[in-house]
Amino acid sequence: MKNFTLYISMFLMLGSCLDTAKESNEINLYSQRHYKVDEMQYAAFEKQTGIKVNVVKANADELIERLKNEGENSPADLFITVDAGKLQKASDLNLLQKISSPIINQNVDSALKDVNGYWIPITYRARIIVYSKDRVNADDLSTYANLTSEEWKNKVLVRSSSNAYNQALLSSIVANKGVDAASKWATNLVKNFARDPKGSDRDQVKAIAAGQGDLAIVNSYYIGLLLSSEKEEELKAGNSVGVFFPNQGENESGSHINVSGIGLTKNAPNKDNAIKLMEFLTSESAQNTYVNTSYEYPANPSVEPNEIVKKWGSFKKDNLDLNQLGVYRSKAIEIFDKSGWK
Amino acid sequence: MEIIKKIVQIEHKRWVLGSVLVALVLILPIIFLFSNIFEIEQSAFVYLWKTLLLDYSLNTLYLILITSFFALLFGIFPAWYVSNYSFKFRTFFDIALFLPLAIPTYIMAFTYSDILSFTGPLQSFLRNNLPELSDIFNNDYLQIEILGLILGLALYPYVYTASRVSFSLIGSTYINMSKNLGLSSTKLFFKVIIPLSKPAIFSGLFLVIMEVLNEYGAVKYFGVNTYTTGIFRAWFSMGNENAAIQLACLLIFIVFTILFLEKISYKKSKFYYSTNTKTEKLNIPTSKKYFYIYTLCSIPFIMGFLIPFIYILNNSILNYSNTDFDKLLDLSLNSISVSTISTILIIIIALLFLYVEKISKLKINTFISQVTTLGYVIPGAVIGLAVILLFTKIPMLKSFSLIGSFYVLIYAYVFRFLAVGKSPIKSSLEKQPESYDETAKTLGLGPFKILQKIHFPINRLALITAFIVTFVDLLKELPITLILRPFNFDTLATQTYEYAIEEMLIESSSYSLAIILIGSMMLILLKYIINKQINAS
């Protein structure tokens, strides 16, 4: 028995050694973003302010569950995602508080901001159409809806419906055109699929290069990443496709966009530091770091996109309230399931 | 009164009570899940059933069948050859065939799909050098059959390990007897060895099946919707926690039934390994046999380990100048320390349950022993969430705010991986004749002494095996770590995954290489010890 107690206390001591030391001047993030650029930003922030940045990285839905269940005891100050729908979900669950900072207001494009003030954007991305330069004439492309026309039978590539970017796209169509139109679009698009949905966005581009399909729906920055790849073959694949922004016509909604954004948690224990970090991340220098490392579009309008991205030209954005992407999520999933979009 | 009388009559009360307590603490997440099942969400369940579930379940079944086929093929035959024949490189293969265990399934899947992709080395090479052949290889490789093959390659060592131990422990008596009866070596294998080793092979295969059920990253990437995908779809995409819990409970129920049926079927045909555990002298194969041996032993090794290893090694050499070595060392230490602590706990607890089951012979202990392995059938992310619910919904636990501490992380690990550590110890304990315990008892040894003096040394091999398999599994663990980890805590697995899902395979390579190297070193070291033991006995 004596031994047993000894082992237990040894175990407890080990556990506390492993626990990270608590500091007072810190900030705690629950983040879905896990790119190298994020580490760079936090390191720069620490250096500038002396505030230690602690991060837990996981899937957005799991982090929401953790936040929800931790309630008042949650150590998290900020919740960072790559989808406005998840921020809406968090604010809908009463997990966030309003953010007020004149600096942030000045830093970010007001069109991208949450109308209710619960979250702020840091970058945005467009869900675009890419096409085979060899086999498709860009003049034949126009809208997302056009992808369902007969001429694209067996030519359209897209990833699975369990992917948040596709769910957000369909939610935007539900919000803009209603359930019936969205159902029709999904059902007809499935008929034009070149293969069962699978892989990532970049895999769709590779599939075009391989000749398995002619068109794909992908996020803009993936093309930027392919075009800056050090692998010659990936570069070739990236160069074999053209970028097309859909829904640009006069009466059309504009291309679907989504933001990567930050919400301030309801019980943030380090609220002041949290605001400071948001101000930092929307500042010009941090925004420049984002655009040049991850090829996203900046939320700060005074910053230019990366050279590669700029070459595609400017485009009309869908100015839908981005909270709608979260509101219509479950409807969108139901439509996916019924349409047979795997 | 009757009950109290009965309790008083139970032998080894303290052991039984102790194990019941530990088990209760361990299965709290399951109790918690099942206590939620009564808030029936009929509409969601009906919706899921109608639209997806049948399709998802059939996919799962198909994937399990393909994976099991390859796992058995790659596991059993080499195990038999290595156990029974003398051939060049035998010792090498015995170790090498273990190694795919060091590669996480999702790394295997991402690596192979990169190798086979249009921009990967195979197709690029053919396009640039042999254009006439390149069309044949220009296929869509993201198919369920290919995924099954990849998972089979990653998981067959579970079958190999289990059957290898069993084959080498089948006493020479059985083999000699069969030979005297005129059985050919093929007949001997199929009529005697395989039936005798069924429980061991099944225990290995069981782990394979559980891994497939738990697999999430690779199946998602391949666009294969499995039952687990359904659970996540209900929970996250549809925001219906209760429907997800019900699906998880149904899965637990099905697996429990399989385990129960297996138990019944083997009860009928229970046999003990001969006390003469001396291995049969190795046979010299015929020249035709040599061909089979080398083919069947090298394919699993080359495809399951060598190719992905070389590819990852090459990537990390390419990325050498961008590698952050301080971080790499940090994450390696994180992975090793958290895996070691958890593994030791798992082995202690597994041994406790199995031993009490053996000495008490009470139904309750058999039941405990079965229930506590259920953690392995529940997808890791569901365990993570169940644990969060448990520690935040129960007021007494809530006040400690333990979520995000190492205690909770390790608790979840133990719950999830107990089955892995238990499996080798179980099959080894089952092989020992009851007479050992009885003799020791008549000599006046208490249960702890029997454990210490008899079972510990006899089962040392199994304990070592259990340690390797569990440690390596924890090294690769992903979903639980992601959801339950403390601030700023990364492991090699989480870092690898974060890069890999962004398709930054080059950047992920040094971290995955570290997992593979640490895992391989453990496997090689411990395999070496095991072989020494086998040869010494």
Chunked into runs of 10 residues, chain B (537 residues) has average pLDDT values of: 60 78 84 73 72 84 95 93 86 89 91 87 83 77 91 93 80 72 77 81 86 84 84 76 80 79 65 51 77 91 95 92 89 94 93 82 77 80 83 74 85 91 80 73 75 75 85 90 87 89 84 94 81 65
Sign of CA dihedral A11, A14, A19, A22: positive
Out of B404, B483, B502, name the one closest to residue A62 (CB): B483
Chain B residues with CB-CB distance to A198 below 8 A: 142, 221-224
| Sequence-ordered list of residues with C-beta below 8 angstroms from that of B167, at least 6 positions apart, any chain | B79, B80, B83, B84, B193, B197
Assign residue B492 a region (left: φ > 0; alpha: ψ between -120 and 50; beta: otherwise). Answer: alpha
Q: How far apart are CA A60 and CA A95, in angstroms?
A: 13
pTM over 0.90: no
Query: Does the beta-carbon distance from A330 to B239 stay under 8 Å?
Result: yes
| Mutation to test the B interface, candidates A198, A219, A229, A295, most B Cβ within 10 Å | A198
The neighbouring-strand residues paired with B283 are: B85
User: Distance (Å) from the C-alpha of residue B501 to the closest C-alpha of chain A?
Assistant: 8
Query: Does the beta-carbon distance from B398 to A333 stay under 8 Å?
Result: no
Out of A71, A236, A342, name the one closest to residue B223 (CB): A342
Of all helices (H) and strands (E), which one includes residue A127? strand A119-132
State the average pLDDT over residues A292-320: 93
Closest CA relative to residue B385, chosen from B376, B393, B377: B393
The neighbouring-strand residues paired with A53 are: A27
- Supply the pLDDT for residue A20: 44
Out of B140, B237, B381, name the one closest to residue A162 (CB): B237
User: Distance (Å) from the C-alpha of residue A94 to the closest C-alpha of chain B?
Assistant: 15
| A43, B144, B264, B363, B444 from B360: Cα distances, Å | 58, 46, 19, 9, 17
Q: How far apart are CA A287 and CA A302, in angstroms?
A: 9
Per-residue pLDDT tens digits for B432-452: 777 777 777 777 777 777 777
Q: In sequence order, which ranges of B286-324 are alpha helices (DSSP H)?
A: 287-301, 307-318
Q: Side chain identity at A32, as an amino acid letter?
A: Q
Out of A20, A167, A329, name the one closest to residue B486 (CB): A20
User: Distance (Å) from the C-alpha of residue B489 to the closest C-alpha of chain A?
Assistant: 7
Q: How far apart are CA B378 and CA A151, in angstroms?
A: 46
Would you say how long chain A is, in residues?
Answer: 342
Out of B51, B388, B489, name the one closest to residue A65 (CB): B388
Chain B residues with CB-CB distance to A57 below 8 A: 482, 490, 494, 498
| Sequence-ordered list of residues with C-beta below 8 angstroms from that of B478, at least 6 positions apart, any chain | B104, B106, B217, B380, B493, B494, B497
Closest CA relative to residue A77, chosen from A57, A96, A101: A96
Q: How far apart are CA B452 and CA B455, in angstroms?
A: 6
Out of B124, B222, B406, name the one closest to residue A15 (CB): B406
User: Distance (Å) from the C-alpha of residue A111 to the closest C-alpha of chain B?
Assistant: 27
Could you give the 3-state DSSP secondary structure of residue A79? strand
| Sequence-ordered list of residues with C-beta below 8 angstroms from that of B402, at least 6 positions apart, any chain | B391, B408
| A30 to chain B: closest CA residue | B487
Q: How many CB pairs under 8 A join A and B?
A: 137
State the average pLDDT over residues A163-175: 94
Q: Do the beta carbons of residue A265 and residue A271 sit within 8 Å?
A: no
Per-residue pLDDT tens digits for B7-25: 556 667 778 888 888 888 8
Cα B380 → chain centroid: 13
Write the DSSP symbol of residue A180: H
| Mutation to test the A interface, candidates B487, B495, B496, most A Cβ within 10 Å | B487
Cα angle: B167, vertex B170, B172; to 5 degrees: 120
> Among A290-294, A328-332, B381-385, B448-452, where is mean pLDDT lowest?
B448-452
Chain A residues with CB-CB distance to B384 below 8 A: 62
Query: Does the beta-carbon distance from A69 to B232 stay under 8 Å?
Result: no
Residue A103 class from Cβ within 10 Å (0-12 exposed, 13-18 middle, 19+ buried)? middle
